Structure 1
Amino acid sequence: TVRYDYQPVNYVLLAGVIEKVTGRLYADLIQQEIFKKLKLTHSGFMPELFHESNQAFGYSGPINNPYAKRYTEPSVNYNRELGTGNIYTSAGDLYQIIKAVNQGKIISTASLKALRNLDNGQYTAGVYNFGGYTLTHGVVASQSAGTMIDTSGQNAVVLLANTDKITQGLIKNLYLNMIKGV
């Protein structure tokens, strides 16, 4: 049985290692190696989003009324998310990032294959890998992000929501219905 224990601190440590090895700030590397390389215009680091005029706000109401209460995340909290959740992006930019990763434009396909060595839906290298497609899901500041994309990048669902009530099941159902043509 394969087990994992997701701990955000591991990504903070990894970001620190990257800075130490390269001598550059993690945010600068992401900006140069991903955002600029892919020509992304709707992505950045928190708390820069607070200066964007078209930002979405998270809501944290009950399940029967999820938009009852606007959620406010103190900007200092994003410091703890370095390497995990302090990047903001649009659905289109997120699709481009995942597609580029899958196509070896960010990390070599050999390295990606080694990292995603399980294809039975186990969480590995930031995704739930099912062989022909991957599923992602994350929640921060009462906002959800979920994707399901095939390895070719031709079939994808990218769902960003301003509530934390979005589930992996919803993302998977949307993807499977799209594939079936429903």
Structure 2
Amino acid sequence: MTTKKLLTAFLFLLFFCENTKAQTYEKKIDSLILTGFGNQNEPGGAFMVSKNGKTIYRKAFGKANLELDANMTPDHVFQIGSMTKQFTAVTILMLEQQGKLNVGDPISKYIKDYPSGDKITIHHLLTHTSGIKDFTKMKTLSTIAQKEMKPEMMVDFFKNEPVDFAPGEKFDYNNSGYVVLGYIIELVSGQTYEDFIKKNIFEKAGMSHSYYATDRQLIPKRAYGYHRKDHGFVNKTVISFSVPFSSGSLMSTVDDMLKWQQALNRNILLNTAETKKAFQKYKLNSGEEFTYGYGWHLKDINGTPDREHGGSIFGFKSMGVYIPSEDIYVIGFSNCDCHSPTEITRNIAKITLQSVKK
């Protein structure tokens, strides 16, 4: 056999092996997702996996709209819930980079009448160590859930509640802290939170299908949200998005979330020093380290460090996992809060990590 024929045979064999490997990987991911999103006549979800910034898996399952019998596609727009906190945290760091604030500042510097605001810092808010009352746990939340609330009104709603612990004493996931951050962003930047995110993040990162959530504005390719009841599915509970505000009111697509991850990787939004602050672990007053940076949980998958965060808001759930050492990003969205993508997304990341290490 000539050298040319040997080379051709080798390349064909290489292509065949790679193609077979890709098909095996795809089938593994499909079967994993179908364990939770297998009924194609129910609300569904969208999943995407990237490696080195390139999409290697991208599929949708189920229905985007039950009334219209519309199938889900990977292009559909979902509410991302608490994944919003990533954007709020990065916005704070952008303002610090511009010299407009410092994460070590007490919040009394910006909100003069905040109780014990001289002891609570922006850092405490970012890391869920402030001790302030989480408004989502307040029994009176239903009285404002459908009202249009200005950021100051939202802060006033919970600021006089007794604190749960002294600042820095413990880590306790807290939505109120991120609402206060959103209010500070508006005070410092002179822009609404929505405008700042749109102009300084969405537009810079090329996220043309991401929005501050609304039930009034027409959103192209919007996935509708659902709850499951004993008698079947119902449309999601209607709330005012001014209530979750900067703790959970953004919408996006799987493709736009990859652009977000790429913008962070390429320092399009933050310099290296500020980016590092988001992704490092911090310590409590006792010296004990906890596994949360600024807007991300810092965990690991089989010993390999990752950055992850989920979200849950009426009718929707979301989850994102990023493995820095391998540049693997996995994102999962669901348009029913009865289907959680959290464990599925983590397991996809686990399988993907195993496949690249073979």
TM-score normalised to the size of structure 2?
A: 0.45
Higher-Rg member (1/2)? 2
Unaligned runs of at least 5 residues, structure 1: none
CA gap 1:19/1:46 in 2 versus in 1, 3 angstroms: same
Q: 1:137 aligns with which of 310, 329, 332?
A: 310
Matching residue of 1:98: 261
The aligned counterpart of 1:150 is: 323
Q: In structure 1, how many angstroms separate the alpha carbons of the residues matched to 2:326 and 2:239?
A: 34
Secondary structure, in 3 states, of the residue corresponding to 1:135?
strand
Amino acid corresponding to residue 291 of structure 2 in structure 1: Q
Please tell me whether residue 173 in structure 1 is matched to residue 337 in structure 2.
no
Q: Greater relative contact order: 1 or 2 (C-alpha under 8 angstroms, separation 6 or more)? A: 2
Quote the Cα distance in structure 2 between the aligned partners of 1:136 and 1:153: 18
Task: Report if the CA contact (8 A) 1:99-1:153 is conserved.
Answer: no
Give the root-mean-square deviation of aligned CA atoms: 2.8
User: 1:124 is aligned with what amino acid?
Assistant: G
User: What CA distance in whole angstroms lies between the structure 2 residues aligned with 1:143 and 1:31?
Assistant: 22
CA contact (8 A) 1:148 1:172 kept: yes
Q: Which amino acid aligns with 1:174?
A: I
SS at match of 2:270: coil
CA separation of 1:86 and 1:110: change in aligned 2, threshold 3 A:
same
Q: Does 1:159 find its partner at 2:328?
A: no
Name the CA shift for 1:68/1:154 in 2 (closer, same or farther; >3 Å).
farther
Which stretch of structure 1 is more off in the superposition, 90-99 or 106-115? 106-115
Is the deviation greater in 134-143 or in 95-104?
95-104
The letter for the 1-side match of 2:271 is S
Query: Does structure 2 conserve the Cα–Cα contact (< 8 Å) formed by 1:102 and 1:109?
Result: no
- Deviation, 1:102, is 4.0
CA distance in structure 2 between the aligned counterparts of 1:102 and 1:16, rounded to whole angstroms:
27
Give distance in 2, aligned partners of 1:59 and 1:121: 34
Consecutive aligned runs of 4 or more in structure 1 exceeding 6 Å deviation: none
Q: Quote the residue 1:55 is aligned against.
A: 222
| TM-score, scaled to structure 1 | 0.83
Unaligned runs of 5+ in 2: 1-168, 283-288
Q: Percent of counterpart pairs with the same letter?
A: 20
1:125 positional shift: 1.3
Q: 1:126 aligns with which of 295, 298, 303?
A: 295
Partners of 2:333 and 2:341 within 8 A in 1:
no
